[in-house]
Homo-oligomer: A and B are copies of this chain.
Amino acid sequence: MRPVLSDPLASVLLVDLTAPAAVLANATTEATRLLPGPALGGVLLTATGDGLALAVTDREHGLRLSRAALVHEDGEVLVALRPLAETVRALDAGQVRLTVEGSRLALRAPGARFGLPLLDRELHPGVPEPPPAAGSVPGSALRAAVEAVASAASREDALPIFTGLRLWTGDGTLTLLATDRYRMAMATLAWSGERLDLLAPAGVLSGLARRLGEGPVALGADSDRLGLRWDRDWLGTALLAVPFPDERARQLMRVEPSGVVELEADALAAAVRRATPFAGPRGTVTLSAWDGELRVHSSDPHGGESEQSVKASVSGAHGGFVYQARYLLDALRPFGGGSVRIEQQEGLRPTVFTGGPGEGVTLTYLVVPMRA
């Protein structure tokens, strides 16, 4: 992993630039939020004719953000990220000037000077550039796909396989899939680039997806890492080196519905939320389809009970199915603003949530029902 920041010979401590305080505040805040761990060794600030680049790493992830700045003197310095972020965020000045003064990076605004100690660049692990792009997708489509799928991933690091986002290409499509064993989500979008086949940590991708705009996002991977590039910025993440149960996932996707319900996703989600105070120690609600309605029921031996009816189009045979309320809410969220099709299967085989294609993304969400 080769550090790709500027040539060491050029890294004389001579940074001198002027930039809007708001631009610096936004970039340092982004760096704090997008990097899952604390920035190891600080933030590398690189001033060139292209402007200012901020680079951070927590060893597992590397992030570089490029911003316009009026550079008076090229150079590269290392300072602690948090005090830099706090300082520029609190400035009400329009412009702030960054210069190296002795052992300090000085931030100057009218009537104010802040001195941040320069850190030793030799102690910084470097921020490797991610693998080259294999293809790209619209930011809005990737955002919708990753947000929906990542909600089905586990947050427990004890079983890394279930914290992963499985990503592969084939037949002109890019597919994302995640599961924590109790639910599984799969999203498909159009793809015309080279082949990808990997398992990446869902958490960091979910954090990035939330902040993506409409513009294209390029994806690329090698055997160790996945890289995402958008605007003039990039993020690289180490892959999860564990085998994923692909065959089991494919089996689960073979659906034999015993009954089908179609209704407004938001109306059902609201009813499930209202049922939650009565969901008892297991946090469960029961869905049962009737003529023209889906009934949402919950009951707690001590806390009382709830019974609601949501207008629905119903076909096939239906019993009552019991679910974790929070899994239902996660499954319904990506279909918000539209209708959702719910296919229930016999026994404890998973229930399947699908919707119309939104943002160029086709989404399938599976939730395993519980014993009544």
A residues near B, CB below 8 A?
80, 82-83, 86-87, 90-92, 104, 111-117, 270-271, 273-274, 276-278, 302-310
Is A112 touching B80 in the complex (CB atoms < 8 A)? no
Interface CB pairs A-B, < 8 A, 19:
A80-B303, A82-B277, A87-B274, A90-B273, A90-B274, A91-B274, A111-B308, A112-B306, A112-B307, A112-B308, A112-B309, A113-B308, A114-B278, A114-B304, A114-B306, A114-B307, A115-B304, A115-B306, A117-B303
CA distance A271 to B90 in the complex (A): 9
Is A278 touching B83 in the complex (CB atoms < 8 A)? yes
CA distance A86 to B104 in the complex (A): 53
Is A114 touching B305 in the complex (CB atoms < 8 A)? yes
- A87-B277, A90-B274, A92-B270 known; A304 and B112 CB under 8 Å? no
When all copies of this chain in the complex are counted, the total is: 2
Is B302 touching A117 in the complex (CB atoms < 8 A)? yes
Is A83 touching B307 in the complex (CB atoms < 8 A)? no
In the complex, which residues of chain B have a beta carbon less than 8 angstroms from the beta carbon of A112? 271, 274, 306-309
In the complex, which residues of chain B have a beta carbon less than 8 angstroms from the beta carbon of A116? 303-304
Which among A80, A104, A273, A274 has the greatest number of chain B C-beta atoms within 10 A?
A274
Residue of B nearest to A90 (CB): B274
Is B104 touching A304 in the complex (CB atoms < 8 A)? yes
CB distance from A115 to the nearest CB of B (A): 5
Is A277 touching B115 in the complex (CB atoms < 8 A)? no
In the complex, which residues of chain B have a beta carbon less than 8 angstroms from the beta carbon of A310? 111
Residue of B nearest to A106 (CB): B304
In the complex, which residues of chain B have a beta carbon less than 8 angstroms from the beta carbon of A92? 270
CA distance A51 to B309 in the complex (A): 30
Is A115 touching B305 in the complex (CB atoms < 8 A)? yes
In the complex, which residues of chain B have a beta carbon less than 8 angstroms from the beta carbon of A91? 274
Partner of A83, one of B82, B86, B273, B277: B277
- A83-B278, A278-B83 known; A307 and B113 CB under 8 Å? yes
Residue of B nearest to A80 (CB): B303
In the complex, which residues of chain B have a beta carbon less than 8 angstroms from the beta carbon of A309? 111-112
Q: State the 10 A-B residue pairs at the shortest beta-carbon distance, nearest first.
A: A112-B308, A111-B309, A86-B277, A90-B274, A83-B277, A116-B304, A115-B304, A114-B306, A115-B305, A113-B307
CB distance from A214 to the nearest CB of B (A): 31
Which among A80, A111, A278 has the greatest number of chain B C-beta atoms within 10 A?
A111
CB distance from A370 to the nearest CB of B (A): 22
CB distance from A79 to the nearest CB of B (A): 8
CB distance from A53 to the nearest CB of B (A): 22
CB distance from A100 to the nearest CB of B (A): 13
